[in-house]
Amino acid sequence: MIGENIVKSFQVGHEKQIVLDGVSIEINEGEFVSVMGPSGSGKSTLLYALSGMDDVNGGKVSFDGKDLSSLSEKELADIRRTKMGFVFQQPILLKNLNILDNIILPAMRDNRKSAEKITEKARALMKKVGIAGLENRDITQVSGGQLQRAGICRALISNPEIIFGDEPTGALNSKTAQEMMDIISEINSEGTAVILVTHDAKVAARTERIMFMRDGKIVSEMRLEKSSGIDMEDRTKKVMVKMREIGI
């Protein structure tokens, strides 16, 4: 996925507010990237631009060699549904469906797959993230951490190439957040690229590359090794030093 010189502005009253001011970013296959920066620096807007959820005012976003702006609404929706997965701070699940039906919903629109196969996959994912047995629960009958795990299963049901996470651990306590990061790291180690926005140095320290944003620009970048077997405390400290250095 390549974003070249992305510009995004919003009209607020008579004023035009530039929120992304020429951002270029490349995410390689299977990479694990995070975006940090002060509130309002444009992190979520960048995720929306890269995933085609929002159009851009300048520059170009390409995915699998295709310029997103050249695609029809349907082509774009198909790419989002089959190649991209989304995890938000609060999972967007439907109230009138149980957990299992919420997870399988995006894949049920794919005519090439049988409902049985999709359900099988959903059950395997639920087991993997530790929520097996909650299939028939209503979304109001599970904890925040369990709901977030269901959101991850839903994001993974179509085997996406990339997962976009907008503060995926933001609403969780620190223990559950780390468990969630274990799951996301495992998904990444199996080949899915991940880009996530976070305020948490501990979360960013789990990734391989951190992009730091300020006022709609990427102002710095930090590379870390693949995280397995590395002292996370030391890694987190390094991220915090960098944050302090650039004033975040």
Ligand X SMILES: Nc1ncnc2c1ncn2[C@@H]1O[C@H](COP(=O)(O)OP(=O)(O)OP(=O)(O)O)[C@@H](O)[C@H]1O
Given the rule CB under 6 A, which residues bind ligand X? Answer: 10, 12, 17, 19, 37, 39-45
* C-alpha–C-alpha distance, residues 83 and 62, integer Å: 13
Partners of 67 in the β-ladder: 62
Min separation Cβ 44 and ligand X, Å: 3
CA distance 48 to 32: 17
Residue 43 or 80: the one with the smaller Cβ distance to ligand X is 43
| Cβ at position 197, least distance to ligand X in Å | 6
**Minimum separation from the CB atom of position 177 to ligand X (A):** 16
HSE of 90, CA atoms in CB hemisphere, 13 A: 3
Between 17 and 70, CB nearer to ligand X: 17
CA 112 to chain centre: 26
Looking at residue 141, the DSSP 8-state letter turns out to be G
Q: How far is the CB of 79 from ligand X (least distance, A)?
A: 22
Q: Which CB sits closer to ligand X, 37 or 145? A: 37
For ligand X, the closer of residues 43 and 154 by Cβ is 43
Question: CB neighbours of 82 closer than 8 A, spacing ≥ 6?
Answer: 110, 158, 160
Whichever of 45 and 102 has its CB closer to ligand X, that residue is 45
Q: How far is the CB of 162 from ligand X (least distance, A)?
A: 18
In angstroms, the CA 154 to CA 149 distance is 9
Strand-strand pairing, 217-223 and 209-214: antiparallel
